[in-house]
C-alpha cells in the first residue's frame, strides 16, 4: 500500500477535529473523507476475500471502523483506519525493500552485447544472444552471458556471482558468468547458455521462488487465521449480548464489543513470519546463500547432522602434488624430469605435476620424444636420457626395478589416500605423490559446525575408502564412508535421518539423489552441476564452505525472531483482551496497542537484513552484492 492513503486519512481526521466544535456538518464530511482515504484499500481487499469465502483481518478492521462510526465515535474509527493503513503501508515498504534489493540483480546483466556473427560485429539486445554466438567484452564491461573464453586473457571480478573477493584470472577455455565484470584485457567469449539459463538468471529465479513460497509456520497461521477471524466475530457478538443481558446499556456493550474486535485481531501474528523470513532470505542472498523457499530456512535451523560429499566439496576437486621423494639427485630434479615428459600428456595428474613445477619457478626442457600409454604412464627421452614416469607396474614392464623399500613407501602413501607416481631412468629416481587436497576453509567450517552444536558430521563419497579416510582423519569427522554408489548414499542419508534433520552438501551429478533425500540439500558453488543446483534446496554461490555455517546461524536466528514475534504478538492480544473484558478500554488505546504491536514485529523481523554473528567466519566474507543507500532507497551496487 502506498504512503498517500494514511497521510490523507490523518489530514482529514485532524481537520475534522479542528472544525467539529464550530461546524459539525463540515466535520462529519471530513470524517467521511478520512474513512474513504484510510479504508478504501481495506474495503477492496475485504470484498475480494469475501467473494472467495474468506474472512480475514481486513474484514475485522472494517467492521470495527464502521461500528465506531455507527456509535458516533468517528475520531476513534478514523484513528483505527489511519493506523491500520499506516501499518499496511509500512509493511508494504519494508518488505518491498527486500524484494527491490533482489530484483535489482537484474541490473547486473547489461542490456546489450557486442557480438561477432559471420565475421561482422554488431550490437544486439542481450536477450537475443544464442548459444554459439561469440561476444566481445571490453575492459570495465559486464559480461552479458555465460560462456567460455575463446580468445584473450583478463581478470574477472566474479564477486556478484560466486562471492570470490579477489579477481579471477581467465584465459582461453575458462568459464565466465553473466553479470561479472571484465577488468583488464578484451575477451572473446563463446556463449554456452541462453539468456534464461545463465547462472545469474537462475539466481534471480531461485530468489523469486523463495519469496513466493510460504514456510510451514506461515501456512499454518493462514489456515488458522480464517477460523480465528470467525471466532473473534462470534466472541465479540457474544460479549455484546452478555453485557446487554447483564444490564449494560446497548451502546456501551456494542462499543466494548467493537473494541474487543480490534484488539483480538491477529494482524501482528499474521505478519510476524513473512517479515522475518523475507528479511533472512534477502540477507542470505547478499552473502551468496540462496534459499529456494522459507521452508528450507526453517528446516535448516533444525538440522543436527551434516553430510559432506568429498570430491569438490571438502576437497578442491583436482589433484595436487603433496610429496616428492628423491632416491637419486634432489627433489627438484625428480620433479623437473617428470614434468618435462608430462607436458606431452593430457592426464589430470600430468597437469598437476607440471603446475607444481611451474609454481616453483622451474624451467622445463622439451622432451625429444614422448609416448603416453593410457592408464599406465608415459615414456620418452629428455636431454638424451630415457625416462619412464607412471605406475609401479608400468615401470616394471619398462625394465625399471622396483625394490621392497620402494614398495613400502608406495604402500604408506596409498594408505594416506595419495596416488604415487614413480620416475625412473634405468632405476627409480624418485616418487611423486598426488592427492585431492582439502579446501582451505574445510577445517574452520567443521570447527564452526561443532561450535554450533552439530552432533554428527559425516563424509559420504564414491572415492575409494582410503582416500576418504585420509580426508576425514585431519578434520575429525564422526564417520567416513567410501566406495559408495549414488543409491548407497541415499540409503545412508535415510539411516542418518532417523536421528534428526540432515543437511547434505555436494556439487556433482552423483550427489543429486542424496541432496533430494536429505532434509535440506545444499549445492556448493555457482559452477555446481545443473543437476545439483536444480535438486538442492539451498545454493552456496562461490566455493567457500564457510557460507554454510553462516546460513546455519542465520536460519537459527530467524527461528528465534519468529518465536519472539509470535510470543510478543500473542501476549499483546491476550493482555488487551483481558483489559477490555475486565475494565473496558477506549477504542483509540486498543487501536494503538494493536497496531503498535504489528509495527514492532515487522521491525523486529527486519533486523535480519543486517544480521551478522560475532566470530562467524561467514560474516567476515564480503557481501556478494554490496548494499548501497541512495536517497533513502536500498539498492545493490
Nearest of 92, 105, 208 to residue 160 by alpha carbon: 105
In whole angstroms, give the CA distance from residue 93 to residue 53: 28
Question: Whats the size of the chain, residue-wise?
Answer: 637
Pairing label, strands 428-438, 456-460:
unpaired
Q: At what angle do helices 199-212 and 267-286 cross, to 10 degrees?
A: 170
What percent of the residues of the chain are helix, what percent strand, and what percent coil, each to the nearest 5? Answer: 55, 20, 25
Nearest of 436, 409, 404 to residue 420 by alpha carbon: 409
Torsion sign, CA atoms 230, 231, 233, 238: positive
Nearest of 477, 516, 476 to residue 493 by alpha carbon: 516
- Residue of 309, 463, 507, 543 marked catalytic: 309
Which residue shows C-alpha cell 595419495? 418
Q: What is the CA radius of gyration of the chain?
A: 33
Q: What is the DSSP letter of 386?
A: E
CA 5 to chain centre: 36
Residue 78, CA distances (Å) to 18, 65, 90 in order:
14, 7, 18
Buried b (16+ CB within 10 A) or exposed e, 49-81: beeeeebbbbbbbbbbbebbbebebbbbbbbbb
Pairing label, strands 187-191, 134-137:
antiparallel
Are the C-beta atoms of 338 and 355 separated by less than 8 Å?
A: no
Q: Give 489's strand partners.
A: none
Q: What is the DSSP letter of 610?
A: G
482: enclosing H helix or E strand: none
Are the C-beta atoms of 460 and 309 separated by less than 8 Å?
A: yes
Nearest of 70, 93, 90 to residue 82 by alpha carbon: 90
Other beta carbons within 10 angstroms of residue 8's beta carbon come to: 17
Q: At what angle do helices 587-606 and 74-103 cross, to 10 degrees?
A: 10
In whole angstroms, give the CA distance from residue 396 to residue 583: 99
Q: Give 373's strand partners.
A: 377
Are the C-beta atoms of 265 and 57 separated by less than 8 Å?
A: yes
Which residue shows C-alpha cell 532470505? 281
Q: Please calculate the CA angle 221-225-226 and round it to the nearest 5 degrees.
A: 135
Q: Give 134's strand partners.
A: 116, 190
309 is catalytic: yes
Q: Give 160's strand partners.
A: none
Q: Which three cell numbers stand for residue 101?
A: 534489493
370: enclosing H helix or E strand: strand 369-373
Q: Please calculate the CA angle 281-285-290 and round it to the nearest 5 degrees.
A: 80
Q: Is 247 helix (H, G, I), strand (E, B) or coil?
A: coil
Give catalytic residue positions.
309
Amino acid at each position: 500500500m502506498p504512503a498517500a492513503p494514511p497521510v490523507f486519512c490523518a489530514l482529514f481526521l485532524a481537520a475534522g477535529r479542528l472544525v467539529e466544535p464550530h461546524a459539525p456538518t463540515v466535520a462529519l464530511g471530513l470524517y467521511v473523507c478520512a474513512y474513504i482515504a484510510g479504508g478504501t484499500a481495506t474495503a477492496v481487499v475485504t470484498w475480494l476475500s469475501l467473494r472467495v469465502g474468506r474472512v480475514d483481518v481486513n474484514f475485522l478492521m472494517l467492521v470495527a471502523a464502521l461500528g465506531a462510526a455507527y456509535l458516533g465515535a468517528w475520531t476513534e474509527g478514523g484513528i483505527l483506519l489511519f493506523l491500520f493503513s499506516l501499518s499496511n503501508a509500512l509493511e508494504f515498504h519494508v518488505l518491498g525493500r527486500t524484494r527491490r534489493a533482489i530484483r535489482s540483480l537484474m541490473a547486473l546483466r547489461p542490456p546489450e552485447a557486442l557480438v561477432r556473427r559471420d565475421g561482422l560485429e554488431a550490437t544486439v539486445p542481450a536477450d537475443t544472444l544464442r548459444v554459439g554466438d561469440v561476444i566481445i567484452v571490453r575492459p570495465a564491461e559486464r559480461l552479458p552471458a555465460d560462456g567460455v573464453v575463446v580468445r584473450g586473457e583478463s581478470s574477472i571480478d566474479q564477486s556478484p556471482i560466486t562471492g570470490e573477493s579477489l579477481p579471477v584470472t581467465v584465459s582461453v577455455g575458462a568459464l565466465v558468468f553473466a553479470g561479472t565484470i571484465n577488468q583488464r584485457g578484451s575477451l572473446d567469449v563463446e556463449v554456452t547458455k541462453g539468456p534464461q539459463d545463465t547462472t545469474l538468471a537462475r539466481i534471480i529465479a531461485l530468489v523469486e521462488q523463495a519469496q513466493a513460497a510460504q514456510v510451514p509456520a506461515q501456512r499454518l497461521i493462514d489456515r488458522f487465521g480464517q477460523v480465528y477471524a470467525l471466532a473473534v466475530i462470534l466472541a465479540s457478538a457474544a460479549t455484546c449480548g452478555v453485557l446487554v443481558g447483564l444490564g449494560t446499556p446497548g451502546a456501551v456493550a456494542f462499543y466494548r464489543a467493537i473494541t474487543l474486535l480490534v484488539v483480538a485481531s491477529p494482524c501482528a501474528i499474521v505478519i510476524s513470519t513473512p517479515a522475518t523470513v523475507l528479511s533472512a532470505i534477502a540477507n542470505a542472498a547478499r552473502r551468496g546463500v540462496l534459499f529456494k523457499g522459507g521452508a528450507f530456512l526453517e528446516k535448516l535451523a533444525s538440522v543436527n547432522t551434516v553430510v559432506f560429499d568429498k570430491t569438490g566439496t571438502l576437497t578442491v576437486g583436482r589433484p595436487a602434488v603433496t610429496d616428492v621423494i628423491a632416491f637419486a639427485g634432489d627433489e627438484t630434479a625428480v620433479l623437473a624430469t617428470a614434468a618435462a615428459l608430462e607436458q606431452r600428456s593430457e592426464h589430470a595428474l600430468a597437469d598437476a605435476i607440471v603446475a607444481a613445477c611451474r609454481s616453483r619457478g622451474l624451467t622445463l626442457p622439451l622432451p625429444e620424444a614422448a609416448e603416453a600409454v593410457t592408464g599406465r604412464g608415459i615414456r620418452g627421452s629428455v636431454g638424451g636420457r630415457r625416462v619412464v614416469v607412471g605406475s609401479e607396474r608400468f615401470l616394471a614392464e619398462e625394465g625399471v626395478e622396483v625394490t621392497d623399500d620402494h614398495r613400502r613407501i608406495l604402500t604408506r602413501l596409498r594408505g594416506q589416500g595419495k596416488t604415487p607416481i614413480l620416475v625412473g631412468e634405468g632405476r627409480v629416481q624418485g616418487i611423486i605423490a598426488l592427492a585431492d587436497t582439502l579446501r582451505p576453509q574445510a577445517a574452520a567450517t567443521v570447527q564452526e559446525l561443532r561450535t554450533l552444536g552439530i552432533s554428527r558430521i559425516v563424509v559420504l563419497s564414491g572415492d575409494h575408502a582410503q582416500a576418504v579416510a585420509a580426508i576425514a582423519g585431519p578434520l575429525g569427522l564422526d564417520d567416513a564412508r567410501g566406495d559408495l554408489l549414488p543409491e548407497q548414499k541415499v540409503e545412508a542419508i535415510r539411516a542418518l535421518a532417523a536421528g534428526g534433520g540432515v543437511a547434505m552438501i555436494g556439487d556433482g551429478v552423483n550427489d543429486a539423489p542424496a541432496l533430494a533425500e536429505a532434509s535440506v540439500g545444499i549445492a556448493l558453488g555457482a559452477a555446481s552441476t545443473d543437476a545439483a543446483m536444480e535438486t538442492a534446496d539451498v545454493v552456496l554461490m562461490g566455493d567457500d564452505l564457510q557460507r554454510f555455517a553462516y546460513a546455519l546461524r542465520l536460519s537459527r536466528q530467524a527461528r528465534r525472531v519468529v518465536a519472539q514475534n509470535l510470543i510478543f504478538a500473542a501476549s499483546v492480544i491476550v493482555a488487551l483482551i483481558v483489559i477490555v473484558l475486565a475494565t473496558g478500554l477506549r477504542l483509540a488505546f486498543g487501536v494503538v496497542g494493536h497496531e503498535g504491536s504489528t509495527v514492532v514485529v515487522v521491525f523486529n523481523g527486519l533486523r535480519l537484513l543486517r544480521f551478522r554473528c560475532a566470530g562467524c567466519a561467514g560474516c567476515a566474507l564480503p557481501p556478494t552484492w554490496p548494499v548501497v543507500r541512495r536517497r533513502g532507497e536500498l539498492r545493490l551496487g
